[in-house]
Structure 1
Amino acid sequence: MEILTSYSTLDATESAIGEAVEKLKARLVRPSLLLVYFSGHEDANLIRQRLVADFPDTQILGCSSCQGILTELGYFPDTVIGLWAVFDFNGAYGSALVSTHQRPGQMARQAVLKAIQNTGRLGELPSMILLHASPGAEEEAIEAISQEFGTPVPIIGGSAADANVAGKWQLFTQDHTSSEGVAVSVFYPTCEVSFSFHSGYAKTELSAVATKVDGRELIELDHRPAKEVYEEWIEHPLNYNESIMSLSALYPLGRVAGILHDLPYFKLAHPNSVTERGGITLFASIKEGERFYLMSGTEDNLVNRAGRDVGGFVESHHQIEAIGGISIYCAGCMLQVKSRMAQVADKMRQAMCDAPYICPFTFGEQGQFVGGENEHGNLMISKVLFYRE
């Protein structure tokens, strides 16, 4: 089993995908699976067509990223196409994208079943699922996948993104391209796999219960307008109908996802804007009755968390052979520390044990917590490391 990456920062899409493909083909002719993350390129179909032409027998999954990507070679801002390829003779991999007018859960279920069919491993549980969906479909997609298997198959993923939250995100597989839908890859690798999903934020003593919600809008906390409560918490006035993404990136809202050794761990929701009725829109779905905690972070936290080891291998001096990895890093966090992303890339490389990896910047992150819960959150970091003992 071998994992490799390549990239191109050329501006013209045709030239960029051509360069990235040629770099990859110089080292690997026939990947089992090809992941593609791109930023600053509008024509996803052009990228897909070139990849299908050069790798006709390869399963492919592509997803747009916000203002750049990371690989083991560093941070590539703005305009870039990155490729992550695995060759695994005895493994199996499958990709599928469903983009219909059905509910996200129905699309997710169909996508997973089609991806498994593409592997030829029908009836066998995959080791992991990579999920990339258009924003808004994540929680329902995770729930549907979990129900389909009846056991918590680990999920890692990120919501498709664009440069300015303008709805120009794109997804594709070997079969087709779409701006909306649910795309997955299923993995049956011939190696061990370890996961990490965390935020790096700390819980404050401030909390309240959601007493009125509407989809992804938090309208009331403890029967008061959410805007008023959040203003008091962060000690900063908020304006109606304006983005508060940057301001709130260091002060997200957290909900308890589980408890380990009597200590809670949290999934985060990133406040996006204030509505006319005094509500706050979020990048995650919420429910009435949930308790929200004000979380607190610093730029140093957002930089240093990238170095958190996957599986504790380095910290425990566990002897492994790292093959490669995938990471998902929140776009909101990236924008908050953009001037320090070279540091993030270096810490991520160390966490991945110097193995080849790729990392897009997404509008929502999916992962499996230490308690086994697959969840969607914001301002999170999700990782997977492929290794041999």
Structure 2
Amino acid sequence: MKILRHFLNATDPCMLQQHIRSIKQDEPANLAIAFGNIDAIVHLSQATEITQLATSWVVTSSCIAAFSDIAAEDNQNHLAILQFYDPQGSYGVASKQSSIDSIIEDSQQALTLALNAANRPGELPAFIWCSQSPGLEEGLLAGIRQLVGNNVPVFGGTAADNDVSGHWCMFDGQQTITTGFIIAVLFPSTPINYFFSSGYETTRHTAIVTSASGRKLHTLNHQPAASVYNQWRTMMALPTLANGPVLAQSTFNPLGRVILDNDEQMTLLSHPAFIYGDGTMELFSEVYQGEQLTFMHGNQTLLIQRAQTVTHFATQQLHDLYDSKPLAAIVIFCAGCMLAIKNETSQVRQGVENALGNVPFIGGFTFGEQGRFADGVNRHGNLMISAIIFGHPNE
């Protein structure tokens, strides 16, 4: 397998077209995975000859900018692209416009179409990559789970915009999708490994979800959820949050569910987005009655360091499990975390580079992250970080 990485300035559509012509190979890649801000994706969708770069695409809008191992002073309108050339492997992509009401059925249909496109109907892929608009994540994973169980790792990132105004988008090489998703199935000829984690620490403050509906958390320990959350903030010497949007103010203190409690504690996070007058909190991911939620704590140092740590773990496991070295990588870093450390994002990129060495990678800042913990269950969370490492073929 050969993987090519490109970091293209897409500010000017004509210049982008020239870049595309300059990197065109004799044959199109089996698959291209890419990130870019909204403007960059719009310009990509208008470019000609992109099908000559890859037969299938999964392009996800990233908050403000994408990133790669290539440093750029101003990377806001850049496209970060990985092209996969793998004649011994199989790859398939399918996309759908969708909604919360139809997402489970739509995801099952799309997964079947993607497997057919890969000429591997009825088989289990080694890996599934997904991109979706906010709000569809749990349904997408549920549909996939109904077809393949948790036997296949599912990773991806939720499309983002620059200001949560709803202008996120995806591109599958033919059409732009604003409310829906893209699924890619990968049967690579080389090994893949991954790691999914957060950069936050648990505190001693916990409560049981006593009422919730989807992404609305009504009560904790039979008290209004916002009241309990603000009590925890007071105990941690933090200011309480008023009713209204709280996304920025709650970034360093999300709610967490401890999934695995071992040497490397695995915690799935939910990011509070809005507080209503009745004390209900709206989150960026679903919680369920009976779950125990923990008040989490993070800071700039933890978040900056975590991207390097996650990438290191994924790389080390690739070596331990498959005796393989990294060929290329994809890193997902939550947009909420990025905005909280906006002036230090170059350190995040540098940390990933330190973990990988001279290995090409791309990354995006997303509004939700999907991945698999060591317990083998695929989940959607917020303020999470993931690294997917594609290995060299074993000789």
- Tell me the TM-score normalised to structure 2 length: 0.90
CA contact (8 A) 1:132 1:183 kept: yes
- Counterpart for residue 276 of structure 1: 277
2:367 to 345, 363, 369: 363
**Aligned: 1:340 with 2:344:** yes
1:238 to 232, 238, 241: 241
Find the aligned partners of 1:151 and 1:333 in 2 and give their Cα distance.
28
* Shift of residue 209, structure 1, vs aligned partner: 1.1
Tell me, what secondary structure is at the counterpart of 2:186?
A: strand
CA contact (8 A) 1:68 1:361 kept: yes
Tell me, what secondary structure is at the counterpart of 1:196?
A: strand
* Shift of residue 123, structure 1, vs aligned partner: 2.5
Which of 303-312 and 323-332 deviates more? 303-312
2:59 to 59, 62, 79: 62
- Counterpart for residue 69 of structure 2: 72
Gaps of 5+ in 1: none
**Aligned: 1:163 with 2:154:** no
Find the aligned partners of 2:318 and 2:189 in 1 and give their Cα distance.
25
* Shift of residue 338, structure 1, vs aligned partner: 1.2
After superposition, the CA RMSD in angstroms is: 2.3
* Shift of residue 321, structure 1, vs aligned partner: 2.8
- Counterpart for residue 47 of structure 1: 44
Find the aligned partners of 1:355 and 1:42 in 2 and give their Cα distance.
24
Find the aligned partners of 1:87 and 1:269 in 2 and give their Cα distance.
37
- Counterpart for residue 358 of structure 2: 354
Tell me, what secondary structure is at the counterpart of 2:248?
A: helix
**Aligned: 1:2 with 2:7:** no
* Shift of residue 89, structure 1, vs aligned partner: 1.5
**CA shift in 2, pair 1:302/1:57, >3 Å:** closer
Find the aligned partners of 2:122 and 2:363 in 1 and give their Cα distance.
30
- Counterpart for residue 130 of structure 1: 129
* Shift of residue 356, structure 1, vs aligned partner: 1.3
Find the aligned partners of 2:112 and 2:37 in 1 and give their Cα distance.
29
Tell me, what secondary structure is at the counterpart of 2:293?
A: strand
**CA shift in 2, pair 1:100/1:298, >3 Å:** closer
Gaps of 5+ in 2: none
Give the % identical residues.
30
Tell me, what secondary structure is at the counterpart of 1:7?
A: strand
**CA shift in 2, pair 1:148/1:52, >3 Å:** farther
Tell me, what secondary structure is at the counterpart of 1:164?
A: coil
Matches within 5 A, 1:3-18: 3-12=3-12, 14-15=13-14, 17-18=16-17
Find the aligned partners of 1:301 and 1:209 in 2 and give their Cα distance.
27
Tell me, what secondary structure is at the counterpart of 1:147?
A: helix
2:30 to 32, 38, 41: 32
Find the aligned partners of 2:281 and 2:137 in 1 and give their Cα distance.
19
Tell me, what secondary structure is at the counterpart of 2:44?
A: helix
Matches within 5 A, 1:204-283: 204-235=203-234, 236-241=239-244, 243-260=245-262, 264-283=265-284
Tell me, what secondary structure is at the counterpart of 2:3?
A: strand
* Shift of residue 320, structure 1, vs aligned partner: 3.4
Tell me, what secondary structure is at the counterpart of 1:351?
A: helix
Find the aligned partners of 2:26 and 2:302 in 1 and give their Cα distance.
37
- Counterpart for residue 296 of structure 2: 295
- Counterpart for residue 323 of structure 1: 327
**Aligned: 1:82 with 2:83:** no
CA contact (8 A) 1:95 1:185 kept: yes
Find the aligned partners of 1:306 and 1:215 in 2 and give their Cα distance.
29
Find the aligned partners of 1:165 and 1:187 in 2 and give their Cα distance.
31
* Shift of residue 49, structure 1, vs aligned partner: 4.7
Aligned length: 384
CA contact (8 A) 1:328 1:383 kept: yes
**CA shift in 2, pair 1:15/1:140, >3 Å:** same
Find the aligned partners of 1:69 and 1:387 in 2 and give their Cα distance.
23
CA contact (8 A) 1:310 1:385 kept: no
Find the aligned partners of 1:19 and 1:196 in 2 and give their Cα distance.
36
